[in-house]
Structure 1
Amino acid sequence: MSTNHDAICAFLYREVRHLDDREFEQWLQLYALDAEYWMPAWDDDDQLTDDPHSQISLIYYPNRNGLEDRVFRIKTERSSASMPEPRTNHMLTNVEVLAERSDEVDVRYNFHTLSHRYKKTDHYFGTVFATLRKGGDAGYLFARKKVVLKDDYISQVVDIYHL
């Protein structure tokens, strides 16, 4: 069975729409319970760190529990990085299917996010490498998401809605 590129794109667009619309509970439902979410850091030699357990990461959650905690903090105003909540606009491009297995699909895509807060607009851009598991109400669930933030010299703390 061949993967439907349009269905994958629709799933990815749904994810960023939930972030832009601040629908964090619906966003969480797009992640499997065992989903790993990782944003490695760039080291001093301009190389990405490759081990979230022994090297610095900008964000690392080994499963959805960490994402649920982030959403709880954002919604209960316990996240100073999210007060006030920025207005975001995500754009996705260059969606490619890299590999397909019976129940999972590996994809790569680029993102550009505009984030407006305190009368200032910041840009975030990079590449995402994700493993999508077939199933769920949306047709897929994130099983793994690795976000490579290309503009890592940023003026504020990054959070889930920036990427």
Structure 2
Amino acid sequence: MLFDIEFDVSVDDLQPVSLTAERKEALNQFLYFEARLLDERRWDEWLALWTDDGMYWVPQSFEQTSPYDHISLFWENKMLRELRMRRLENARNWSQQPPTQASRLLGNISIEGQDQQGYLVVRANFQSVESRAGQQRVLAGSYIYKLASTADSWKLYLKQVNLINREDVHSNLEVHI
């Protein structure tokens, strides 16, 4: 999957989509819930929100339109997301002693449309404050989600995190943003 260059991260050629007010509110609640699971370090529940072939992507460059033509800060499939979660909880992981605590704020959630594969494309802005060992760090940017519709909710097919300072040198980015 990591080298499957057929995985479509583009958000071009979207078809308009209309959701009822109730479905829009359910979508907002899904995104807030996803952020809360990360804030509360509820990794197993967070992992369950994903499709089996879903990808987590944090581009490193502003011009980057694909994870295949430029190095990324993260490009993770199911196995790598699970590995990160196990590492975060490992008692021998010195970089998480004490564990990173975070609080995310989501806003400006907008439904962009439906892509050619039928995934709902949604954008949101975020701010996240991380605290560890007496140090705080603020991260901010935007998310692009591609969501697979289920009977009563969604699954994450793609989560793209566009940091506003993505080209800076970063200290450890341990926890998913």
With the length of structure 2 as denominator, give the TM-score of the two structures: 0.79
1:157 partner SS: coil
2:34 aligns with: 15
The aligned amino acid for 1:126 is: G
1:27 aligns with: 46
Counterpart among 85, 102, 119 of residue 99 in structure 2: 85
Deviation track 1:125-147 (CA, whole Å, cap 9, x = no partner) reads 001111011117x7110011111
The question of 1:48 aligning with 2:63 is answered yes
Q: Please report how far the alpha carbon of residue 39 of structure 1 lies from its aligned counterpart in structure 2 after TM superposition.
A: 0.5
Cα gap change, 1:78/1:146 in structure 2, threshold over 3 Å: closer, same or farther?
farther
Give the paired residue count.
156
Q: Is the 8 A contact 1:11 1:139 kept in 2?
A: yes
Q: Is the 8 A contact 1:104 1:131 kept in 2?
A: yes
* Alignment partners' CA distance in 2, 1:78 and 1:88: 21
Q: Is the 8 A contact 2:51 2:155 kept in 1?
A: yes
Across the aligned residues of Structure 1 and Structure 2, the Cα RMSD in angstroms comes to 2.1
Cα gap change, 1:80/1:48 in structure 2, threshold over 3 Å: closer, same or farther?
farther
- Report 1:104-143 matches (<5 A): 104-135=119-150, 139-143=153-157
Deviation track 1:94-133 (CA, whole Å, cap 9, x = no partner) reads 0000003695311000010000112121100001111011
1:72 aligns with: 86
Q: Is the 8 A contact 1:33 1:65 kept in 2?
A: no
Unpaired segments ≥5 residues, structure 2: 1-16
* Alignment partners' CA distance in 1, 2:159 and 2:79: 14
* Alignment partners' CA distance in 2, 1:49 and 1:81: 29
2:106 partner SS: strand
